[in-house]
């Protein structure tokens, strides 16, 4: 019998389940289960990736200087306060492992990203889950949960899977209310879709305990490459960099991400499409009797009245070759998270659900 045992907390981690990609017997599958960009990656990034492929025999840079400079120029940031990772997930792992451990507490909210409790377990920290108010982060609930053992608050804004947004004044109130020994991490994976919101960059610029994270997987359509970044106080970034693997990003990742972040015209095009089709999808869902909050992301969380009704709606979508994401694990057994697609894809979703409603009423 083996005497090898995992560190405390590791075996409590439930394996992450990604969005479904296939339907048995269906070839024309419309995948709206993973919040991917319907327009794909910017052609500029694809071209840069191809050009970089000739250098696959060479090691990538260890400091990501060119990419950090591109991010800094695009967002008006300081390059030495940036860190890059394998998706924003790795940046979140850097901060939790660097600043929390056994005996410490990590706070997240009840409908927060499912990676948050996993990250707490990986660090050996105690998980503290606080309630939300009508699917929106409750600042008072977070502040009441803070103790002298709290080290990190993980907050997705806009949130996944709800799509709700904590207003800037509430975000500032949260930052003001936290002790200076607690790090506020604002996970901005979907921030580009939230028109008029800076993702908390202004807070991270001016405070010693705020970190923001971003990803190239959503608006930039580079989910298959896994690239993300974080921005925060230089002292915090210095600590996190010490546990970052020196070659964590490849030459093609770096090249594609640099081209993508500079392609602001592509981003504007994707945002405009999302705003238009998100409003269209939200309106149609409500007309069909499926409740949904105002989303600030590239998906909409539809809520049926019962689990049985949600099952029937999903079955109708699947019958038309459409995959969406059930989010029972996030506390919404009656929920269907639907990625916002292009005009044709959105029309296909609406048509399938309309036929379902009409059939149920017949």
Handedness of CA 103, 106, 110, 113 (dihedral sign): negative
| Terminal CA-CA length for the chain | 62
Comparing C-alpha atoms, which of 108, 134, 138 is closest to residue 121? Answer: 108
> In the structure, what pLDDT confidence band is assigned to residue 308 with cuts at 50, 70 and 90?
very high
DSSP string, 299-330: EEEEE-SSHHHHHHHHHHHHHTTEE-EEEGGG
User: Quick check: 123 pLDDT over 70?
Assistant: yes
Give Cβ neighbours of residue 263 (< 8 Å, ≥ 6 apart).
42, 44, 45
User: Quick check: 172 pLDDT over 80?
Assistant: yes
**C-alpha separations of 335 from 25, 73, 82, 300, 309 in Å:** 25, 40, 36, 10, 10
Q: What is the pLDDT of residue 265?
A: 97
- Other beta carbons within 10 Å of 73: 12
Mean pLDDT throughout 333-350? 98
User: Quick check: 216 pLDDT over 80?
Assistant: yes
The secondary element (H helix, E strand) that includes residue 30 is: strand 30-31
Q: What is the pLDDT of residues 79-113, one digit of tens each?
A: 999 999 999 999 999 999 999 999 999 999 999 99
Q: What is the pLDDT of residue 6?
A: 72
- pLDDT > 90: percent of the chain: 90
Rg value, the chain, Cα:
21
**C-alpha separations of 182 from 154, 235, 301 in Å:** 11, 14, 31
What pTM value is reported for the model? 0.93
Q: What is the pLDDT of residue 238?
A: 97
The half-sphere exposure of 302 on its side-chain side, counting CA atoms within 13 A, is 29
Q: What is the pLDDT of residue 72?
A: 98
Q: What is the pLDDT of residue 355?
A: 96
User: Quick check: 360 pLDDT over 70?
Assistant: no
Q: What is the pLDDT of residue 247?
A: 96
Q: What is the C-alpha separation between 278 and 288, in angstroms, rounded?
A: 15
What does DSSP say about strands 322-323 and 299-303: parallel, antiparallel, or unpaired?
unpaired
């Amino acid at each position: 019998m083996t005497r090898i045992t995992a560190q405390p907390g590791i075996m409590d981690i439930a394996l992450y389940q990604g969005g479904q990609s296939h339907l048995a017997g269906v070839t024309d599958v419309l995948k709206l289960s993973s919040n991917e960009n319907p327009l794909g990656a910017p052609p500029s990034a694809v071209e840069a990736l191809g050009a970089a492929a000739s250098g696959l025999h060479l090691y990538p840079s260890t400091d990501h200087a060119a990419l950090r400079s591109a991010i800094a120029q695009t967002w008006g940031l300081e390059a030495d306060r940036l860190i890059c990772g394998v998706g924003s997930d790795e940046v979140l792992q850097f901060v939790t492992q660097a600043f929390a451990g056994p005996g410490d507490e990590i706070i997240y909210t009840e409908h927060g990203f499912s990676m948050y409790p996993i990250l707490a377990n990986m660090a050996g920290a105690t998980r503290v889950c606080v309630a939300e108010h009508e699917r929106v982060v409750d600042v008072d609930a977070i502040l009441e949960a803070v103790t002298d053992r709290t080290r990190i608050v993980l907050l997705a804004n806009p949130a996944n899977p709800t799509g709700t947004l904590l207003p800037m004044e509430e975000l500032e109130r949260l930052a003001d209310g936290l002790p200076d020994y607690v790090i506020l991490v604002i996970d901005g994976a979907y921030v580009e879709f939230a028109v008029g919101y800076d993702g908390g960059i202004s807070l991270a610029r001016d405070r010693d305990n705020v970190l923001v994270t971003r990803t190239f997987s959503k608006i930039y359509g580079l989910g298959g490459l896994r690239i993300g970044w974080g921005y925060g106080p230089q002292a915090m970034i210095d600590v996190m960099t010490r546990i970052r693997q020196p070659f964590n990003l490849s030459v093609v990742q770096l090249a594609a991400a640099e081209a993508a972040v500079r392609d602001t015209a592509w981003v504007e095009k994707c945002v405009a499409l999302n705003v238009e089709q998100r409003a269209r999808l939200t309106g149609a869902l409500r007309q069909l009797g499926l409740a949904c909050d105002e989303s600030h992301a590239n998906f909409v969380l539809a809520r049926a009245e019962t689990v049985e009704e949600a099952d029937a709606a999903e079955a109708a979508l699947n019958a038309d070759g459409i995959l969406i994401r059930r989010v029972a694990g996030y506390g919404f057994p009656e929920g269907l998270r639907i990625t916002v697609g292009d005009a044709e894809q959105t029309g296909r979703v609406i048509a399938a659900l309309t036929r379902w409603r009409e059939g149920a009423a017949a």
